[in-house]
Structure 1
Amino acid sequence: MKIDAHQHFWALARGDYGWLTPELPPLYRDFLPADLAPVLRVNGVEGTVLVQAAPTIAETEFMLGLADDNPFILGVVGWVDFEAPDAIGQITRLATHPKFVGLRPMIQDISDVDWMLSKTHTPIFRAMATSELAFDALVLPKHLPNLQELVRDHPDLSIVIDHAAKPEIAAGQFNEWAANMVSLAQNTSVAVKLSGLVTEAAKDWTVSQLRPYVEHLLDHFGPTRMIWGSDWPVCTLACAYDDWCAATDQILKDLNETDRDAILGGNAARIYRIKGAA
């Protein structure tokens, strides 16, 4: 089963997408299951993981409703306010939904770079581990040293690094990001998403520009801890869905079938504990 492990939906009238403004005209409209379903069929994608795009419980409930109505949505990564007094209760309640598979605080938008290390969050991470929920780490390269500490503090927590931590490909930044990713890969179970790279590259990006970053991830996380995703519709700022599929197919073409299948779906099914996925 080919799974797109990172895609979004939104309806502007809901009103809680603070980052989504008219200054992003290609994205400033509704994106819903009817928009994505035909694209998935053309590209042989059988299921998706729907990921939060707004820091509200209401959006998480909205996504779970979409998952109930659309069988191709295999899992939902939602949001909970880690500062709320009832955060653990919210996590426990959401975890009863069979398609609720993880949580994603929007760390890249939080001004405090040390936010994830707050001791007040320790019970939250423990509750996630107890409920077998993944922690989607929406981080930037500057957060990687702290993420290493979080991994050490919570060895039982399933952690997935979104968009390979958004390396600054357009600026040619590689070495520091690469070293930090090696540290995160060594002696841990941390996984990383092969997604979101085209929007970090230059507008005229090429596969050859992406290849060193992907090959570095393959070298250190290996094919059992890489998860393919599109970041649709955000990826459309840089390329069509078909183009991203073609680019990753080209980069992964020398892997054997077992490893490709793992990256393109098997790992997502296992790490997100997706019920019913082959």
Structure 2
Amino acid sequence: MRIDAHQHFWQFDPVRDAWIDDSMQVIRRDFLPADLAPLLEEKGVDGCVAVQADQSLDETRFLLNLAEENDWIKAVVGWFDLKAEDLEAQLDHFLDHKKLVGARHILEAEPHGFMSSPDFVSGVKKLARRGMTYDILSRESQLEEVNLLLHKLPEMKLVVDHMSKPKIKEASFDHWAKQMIEVAAHDHVTLKLSGLVTEADWSNWKKEDFIPYLDFCLDHFGPDRLMYGSDWPVCLLAGSYAQVHDLIQGYISTLSESEQAKIMGGTAAQFYGLSLY
């Protein structure tokens, strides 16, 4: 099974989606399953994992409704207020939704100390007790705190989105790599090969820009802990779905068929439990 482990849907709202500013005109519109389906089919991708882009329970409901209507949306990573006193009640409300596999918070927008705070960690642990996963959305500058968080969650299924956004446009590598070595030392943590093109020069990137970062991830995580994600439609800021897919597929083309299969779907299927339904 070939799986795109990271993409988004939205009905554009200029107030709610204010992060999509005037420099991002290409994604200032609706993006729904009918837009993505032909792109997946063109590249032989069997399904996807829809990940939250807005921090509301309405977002979780919206994605789950789309997943119920489209079998190829294999799983949903939703949003919950992980610091809320009624978190258990929030989670109980979605008990019947089998495609809800995990949660994410936009940690990259939070101040230092947020992700390692006791109340946030407690909320993430409540997800773990229900067998849910957690997607860590962070930037390179937050990796020290990411590692603090990983130490507090020693057994939970965790995945770092977008390789924690290394500053590829600036060819920043050493600081990112030093911290990522520590991330990789946690065997229970996986990594999404996603969000690369938007961390590069949107108009002038070339595949060689990404090789040091991809080499590092392959060497330190291995195919069992890597998963392909397009980050569509955000990726459209810097490249088409086909370009993003082909960037990863081309990079791993020298690996064995089984190793390629893990990165292009097997790791995601195992991590998110996609074989369960």
- Indicate the TM-score class for this superposition, using the shorter chain for normalisation: over 0.9
The equivalent of 2:225 in structure 1 is: 225
**DSSP-derived class of the 1:192 partner:** strand
Report the Cα distance in structure 2 between the residues aligned to 1:206 and 1:16, rounded to whole angstroms: 33
The equivalent of 2:196 in structure 1 is: 197
* C-alpha contact 1:91 1:127 (8 A) present in aligned 2: no
Change (3 A) 1:12 1:187: closer
The equivalent of 1:91 in structure 2 is: 91
Q: Structure 1 stretch 15-24 or stretch 138-147: which is displaced more?
A: 15-24
What are the within-5 Å matches in structure 2 for residues 13-162 of structure 1? 13=13, 16-110=16-110, 112-162=111-161
In the TM superposition, residue 39 of structure 1 has moved relative to its aligned partner by 0.8
What amino acid is the match of 1:233? P
Identical-residue share of aligned pairs (%): 38
In the TM superposition, residue 18 of structure 1 has moved relative to its aligned partner by 3.6
Q: Structure 1 stretch 187-196 or stretch 210-219: which is displaced more?
A: 187-196
What amino acid is the match of 1:273? G
Gap regions ≥5 residues in structure 1: none
Q: Structure 1 stretch 174-183 or stretch 13-22: which is displaced more?
A: 13-22
* C-alpha contact 2:83 2:123 (8 A) present in aligned 1: no
Report the Cα distance in structure 1 between the residues aligned to 2:265 and 2:80, rounded to whole angstroms: 26
* C-alpha contact 2:102 2:134 (8 A) present in aligned 1: yes
Report the Cα distance in structure 1 between the residues aligned to 2:234 and 2:253, rounded to whole angstroms: 25
Report the Cα distance in structure 2 between the residues aligned to 1:184 and 1:36, rounded to whole angstroms: 32
Report the Cα distance in structure 2 between the residues aligned to 1:126 and 1:224, rounded to whole angstroms: 24
* C-alpha contact 1:8 1:233 (8 A) present in aligned 2: yes
Q: What TM-score, normalized by structure 1, do the two folds share?
A: 0.95
Aligned residues: 276
Q: Deviations over 1:222-252 (max 9, x none)?
A: 1100010100001011111111121112210
What amino acid is the match of 2:238? A
**DSSP-derived class of the 2:235 partner:** helix
Report the Cα distance in structure 2 between the residues aligned to 1:12 and 1:164, rounded to whole angstroms: 26
In the TM superposition, residue 114 of structure 1 has moved relative to its aligned partner by 1.3
**DSSP-derived class of the 1:104 partner:** strand
* C-alpha contact 1:16 1:56 (8 A) present in aligned 2: no
In the TM superposition, residue 83 of structure 1 has moved relative to its aligned partner by 2.8
In the TM superposition, residue 183 of structure 1 has moved relative to its aligned partner by 0.6
The equivalent of 2:262 in structure 1 is: 262
* C-alpha contact 2:197 2:235 (8 A) present in aligned 1: yes
Report the Cα distance in structure 2 between the residues aligned to 1:247 and 1:16, rounded to whole angstroms: 32
Change (3 A) 1:163 1:32: same
The equivalent of 1:206 in structure 2 is: 206
In the TM superposition, residue 88 of structure 1 has moved relative to its aligned partner by 2.5
**DSSP-derived class of the 1:196 partner:** coil
* C-alpha contact 1:16 1:55 (8 A) present in aligned 2: no
Report the Cα distance in structure 1 between the residues aligned to 2:189 and 2:206, rounded to whole angstroms: 28
Q: Structure 1 stretch 117-126 or stretch 169-178: which is displaced more?
A: 117-126
* C-alpha contact 1:92 1:131 (8 A) present in aligned 2: no
Q: Structure 1 stretch 183-192 or stretch 83-92: which is displaced more?
A: 83-92
What amino acid is the match of 2:229? G
In the TM superposition, residue 23 of structure 1 has moved relative to its aligned partner by 4.4
In the TM superposition, residue 212 of structure 1 has moved relative to its aligned partner by 0.8
In the TM superposition, residue 94 of structure 1 has moved relative to its aligned partner by 2.6
Q: Structure 1 stretch 260-269 or stretch 96-105: which is displaced more?
A: 96-105
Q: Deviations over 1:149-201 (max 9, x none)?
A: 11111112111000000000000100010111111111421100000001101
Q: Deviations over 1:106-131 (max 9, x none)?
A: 10111x12101111123212211111
Q: Structure 1 stretch 237-246 or stretch 256-265: which is displaced more?
A: 237-246
Report the Cα distance in structure 2 between the residues aligned to 1:150 and 1:53, rounded to whole angstroms: 22
Q: CA RMSD in A?
A: 1.5
What amino acid is the match of 2:173? F
Q: What TM-score, normalized by structure 2, do the two folds share?
A: 0.95
